[in-house]
Amino acid sequence: MTRSEVRSEVRSEVRIDALATRGAPDCPAIVVPGGETLTYGELDRAATRFARGLVAGGAVAGQRLVLANANTPGFFVALFGAARAGLVAVPLDPGLAAAELRTVLAHARPHAVVVDARSTPVFEPLGAPLCGVDATEATTEATTEATTEATTEATTGARADEAPPHRGDHPALILYTSGTTGTPRGAVHTHAGVLHKVEAIRAHFALGTTDRALCMLPTHFGHGLVCTCLTTLHAGSALVLCRPFDAQLLPRVFALAEDHGATTFSTVPTIVRLLVRNQAVRRTRGRLRYVTCASAPLHAEEVDAFEARFGVPLLNCYGLTEAGTWSAMSPLDPARDRRSVGIAAGCTFRAVSAAGEPLATGEVGELEVAGPSVMRGYDGDPDATARTLRDGWLATGDLGRIDAAGRVFLAGRSKELIIRAGANIYPAEIEGVLLRHPAVAEAYVVGLDHALLGEQVAACIVCKDGCTASDAELIQHCRTALAPYKCPETIRFTSAVPKTSRGKVSRASLAALFR
């Protein structure tokens, strides 16, 4: 290897586009069930062509490129091509309302929006320049009506990954948080931060080239993108890429995993509950080593139910968009404490009081995280950044504790904390008790305004198919395990609860059910 080749390799290893070359060139990188397969060599070359097209079209290092073609091979071509051209990728959910998309586009100020057949009709009326990508090796290029000729000319030029002088501490991704309906908040993550995170996840689960991951989560947010997809590519293994939250996929998810030799897949609690409740789902023999779950609280009883039904370990994980995704991960150990979301990986946790003082081991407070993968800040919002990043620590907004063994336990969101007559009540504790009732499939606890007590405890319940329960029965069930002041005073039954596009429960919508 020449000296210039060494310099080039070192430079590329601190950029996320290095992940396009982690596997052997002829080995599959991305496999679409019933569709195309992209090898690592093809992915690498396609990303370079795409980067050339961006540069030829006038893109300048540091500009943003919105990716609205989630869960396609072209998404990763555009992601890695943007990195090679020095652009910052902004994955975006095309399922947002038009007003939300306009707000985010105005905030992100992208050079262009990468679209596919599904998202083109959504973005055409919004006025932003659109950009297409064909993931086939022979034709991949970044094309807009204004840049097609320049792109064609540029495909014979110098390698795009040799041009932009950007380093590992330069921004690679802007991941928008769930709350895009108000002031948008884009968490800025560097190349080095993302690479540190995917290595921490890979090492924790001992992923290697013989593993294969099935992705059925959206690639426009951190759980699906970083924890599943980029970690898989970092391991040099194959990513089996499906459409997100596909209801038709769920009954055959285990069969699909077996057909493609998947050793793992990741979920959210909503998927876990649907799998457990759907009697048509059958676990087939295959190579699955474990399944992970994150993005919302998952109770120990639900872990037990999943493992008893399907015979595969379900590992609870915890992270935030601002922390670069998963920061705590459960070990692949049958003796693990299923109430915990795991131990810190590649970062450090602590719990602090309302005054910001570190708490003793085992005390409940707001969790804070520090480490190389924590965001640089919110894009263009120094005030929100200052409120969230405090002396090198990221305030998560989640309540929890860390025990002497370093295990992290969640107690709920700080803004979900219920204060009844001055006593702190954690919804997660009550939900766990409710889920132990044989008729309860889902349980969500919220605080309702009360003129005398300040707040009172209310629970929203989804019963298992064919099962019923009364509010008096469930309240009495809670009283066998909880102090009286913690028990629900009001219960509402419903066939389904409102959830966001990411599978999270909308607590505000739940409270509205009681009005």
Per-residue pLDDT tens for 111-169? Answer: 999 999 999 999 999 999 999 997 665 444 555 543 333 333 333 333 444 445 556 88
Domain count, the chain: 3
Question: 3-state DSSP helix/strand/coil percent for the chain, to nearest 5?
Answer: 35, 25, 40
CA distances from 493 to 463, 490, 513 (A): 8, 10, 10
pLDDT at position 121, please?
96
Q: Is pLDDT at 501 greater than 70 in this prediction? A: no
Distance between CA atoms of residues 73 and 62, nearest Å? 24
**Residue 227 included in any domain:** no
Q: Which CATH number fits the domain that encloses residue 66?
A: 3.40.50.12780
Residues 117 and 81 in one domain: yes
pLDDT for the residue 429: 85
What is the tens place of the pLDDT at every residue in 376-414? Answer: 999 999 999 999 999 999 999 999 999 999 999 998 777
Shared-domain flag, residues 258 and 142:
no
112 and 101 in one domain?
A: yes
- pLDDT value for 156: 31
What per-residue confidence (pLDDT) applies to 402?
98
> What does DSSP say about strands 130-131 and 171-176: parallel, antiparallel, or unpaired?
unpaired
Residues 287 and 159 in one domain: no
Question: Which structural domain range is residue 114 located in?
Answer: 3-20+39-192
CATH number at residue 502: 3.30.300.30
Q: Are residues 68 and 179 in the same domain?
A: yes
Per-residue pLDDT at 513: 85
Domain assignment present for residue 461? The answer is: yes
| 202 within a domain of the structure (yes/no) | no
What are the residues whose beta carbons fall under 8 Å from the beta carbon of 421, sequence distance 6 or more?
A: 453, 454, 485
Flag whether 220 is in a domain: no
Beta-sheet pairing, 290-293 with 264-267: parallel
Assigned domain for 228 exists? no
- 506-507-508 Cα angle (round to 5): 90
Residue 97 has pLDDT above 90, yes or no: no
Same domain assignment for residues 428 and 379? no
Of 393, 414, 435, the one marking the end of a domain is 414
> DSSP letter string over 239-285?
EEE--TT-TTTGGGHHHHHHHTT--EEEE-HHHHHHHHH-TT--PPS
Please give the pLDDT value at position 280. Answer: 86
**Burial of 286: CB neighbours in 10 Å, binned 0-12, 13-18, 19+:** middle
Residues 167, 264 share a domain: no
Confidence band (pLDDT; 50, 70, 90) for 107? Answer: very high
CA-derived radius of gyration, the chain: 23
Interacting residues of 7 by C-beta distance below 8 A, sequence separation 6+: none
Instruction: State residue 249's pLDDT score.
Output: 85
| Structure token digits, residue 228 | 């599943």
Same domain, 455 and 472: yes
Query: Which of 151, 166, 192 lies at the terminal end of a domain, its last residue?
Result: 192
Residue 189, pLDDT above cutoff 70:
yes
In a domain, 269, yes or no: yes
pLDDT tens per residue, range 347-382: 999 999 989 999 999 999 999 999 999 999 999 999
Residue tagged 């989640």 (tokens): 398
Distance CA 293, CA 222 (A): 13
Q: Is the pLDDT of residue 251 over 90?
A: no
Does residue 145 share a domain with residue 43? yes
Residue 320 near residue 366 (C-beta atoms within 8 A) = no
Q: CB neighbours (10 Å) of residue 348? A: 14
Q: What angle do CA 363, 475, 276 make, to 5 degrees?
A: 80
Same structural domain, 162 and 45: yes
Mean pLDDT value across residues 466-486: 92
Residue 79: its pLDDT value, please? 98
The predicted model gives 8-20 an average pLDDT of 71
Whether 243 shows a pLDDT value over 80: the answer reads yes
Per-residue three-class SS string for 347-399: CEEEEECCCCCECCCCCCEEEEEECCCCCCEECCCHHHHHHHEECCEEEEEEE
pTM: 0.81
* 306 and 172 part of one domain: no
Q: How far is CA 433 from each of CA 190, 445, 486, rounded to the nearest angstrom?
A: 41, 11, 11
Given a cut of 90, whether residue 506 has pLDDT beyond it is no
Amino acid 247: pLDDT: 75
Query: Which stretches of 57-170 are assigned E, i.e. beta strand?
Result: 64-67, 88-91, 110-114, 130-131
Cβ atoms of 451 and 436 within 8 Å: the answer is no
Band of pLDDT at residue 13, cut at 50, 70 and 90: low
Residue 373 CA to residue 326 CA, distance in Å, equals 10
User: Is residue 121 within 8 Å of 113, Cβ to Cβ?
Assistant: no
- Mean pLDDT, rounded, of the chain: 87
Q: Same structural domain for residues 344 and 472? A: no
pLDDT digits (tens, 9 = 90+) for 44-70: 999 999 999 999 999 999 999 999 999
* Residue-wise pLDDT tens digits, 200-211: 999 999 999 999
- What does the alpha-carbon distance between residue 294 and residue 378 come to, in Å, rounded to a whole number? 23
Instruction: Give the lowest-confidence range in 18-27, 284-293, 322-331.
Output: 284-293
Residue 223 domain flag:
no
| Final residue before a domain boundary, out of 192, 225, 253 | 192
Residue 514 binned pLDDT confidence (cut-offs 50, 70, 90): confident
The token pair at 515 is: 């009005």
Check if the beta carbon of residue 208 is closer than 8 Å to that of residue 124: no
- 452 occurs within a structural domain: yes
pLDDT band at 42 (very low <50, low <70, confident <90, very high): very high
Mean pLDDT across 22-48? 97
